Structure 1
Amino acid sequence: MSAATGAATSISADAVSPVLEMKGLSVCYSGLVPAVAGVDFKVNPGEVVGVIGESGSGKSTLAHAVLGLLPKSANVTGERFVLDGHDMLTAGRDDYAALRGPAAAMVFQNPMTAFSPLHTLGRQLTDLLWRDRHQSAAEKRERIIAVLSQVGLPDPASKLDAYPFQFSGGMLQRVAIAAALLMRPSLLIADEPTTALDVTMEAQILHLMRELRKTSGVAILMISHHLGVIAEICDRVAVMYAGRVVEEGTVREIFANPRHPYTRALFACEPALIESGVSRLPVILGEVPRPGGCGCSFAGRCSLVEERCHCDSPPWVGVADRAEPHFSRCHRSAP
Structure 2
Amino acid sequence: MAATATWERTDAGYTGVQADADWAREIRALADERDAVLLAHNYQLPEIQDVADHTGDSLALSRIAASSSASTIVFCGVHFMAETAKILGPDKTVLIPDERAGCSLADSITAEQLRAWKAEHPGAVVVSYVNTTADVKAETDICCTSSNAVDVVRSIPADREVLFCPDQFLGAHVKRETGRDNLHVWAGECHVHAGINGPELAERAAANPDADLFIHPECGCATSALYLAGEGTVAAERVKILSTGDMLTAARDTGARSVLVATEVGMLHQLRKAAPEIDFRAVNDRASCRYMKMITPAALLRCLREGADEVHVPSDVADRARASVERMIAIGKPGGGE
TM-score w.r.t. structure 1 length? 0.31
* Larger fraction in strand: 1
* Larger fraction in helix: 2
* Greater RCO (CA < 8 Å, at least 6 residues apart): 2
